[in-house]
Amino acid sequence: MTNDPKTAPETFAEVIAVWASAFAMARDVGEENGTVQKWKERNNIRGEHWNRIVRAAKKRSQARIVYRDGYDKITLQLLADIAERTALGSNRKR
pLDDT of residue 67: 58
Q: Cα-Cα-Cα-Cα dihedral of 8, 13, 19, 22, to 10°? A: 170
Tell me, yes or no, whether 52 lies in a domain: yes
Tell me, yes or no, whether 56 lies in a domain: yes
Tell me, yes or no, whether 22 lies in a domain: yes
19-31: pLDDT as tens digits: 999 999 999 999 9
Average pLDDT (2-19) is 83
Count of alpha carbons within 13 Å of 20, Cβ hemisphere only? 8
67-83: pLDDT as tens digits: 567 899 999 999 999 99
Range of the domain at 65: 12-93
Tell me, yes or no, whether 4 lies in a domain: no
Q: How many domains does the chain have?
A: 1
Residues constituting the chain: 94
- The SS3 assignment for 59 reads helix
Specify the long-range contacts of residues 32-39, CB closer than 8 Å, at least 24 apart: 39/12
Task: Give the global pTM.
Answer: 0.84
pLDDT of residue 1: 46
Tell me, yes or no, whether 27 lies in a domain: yes
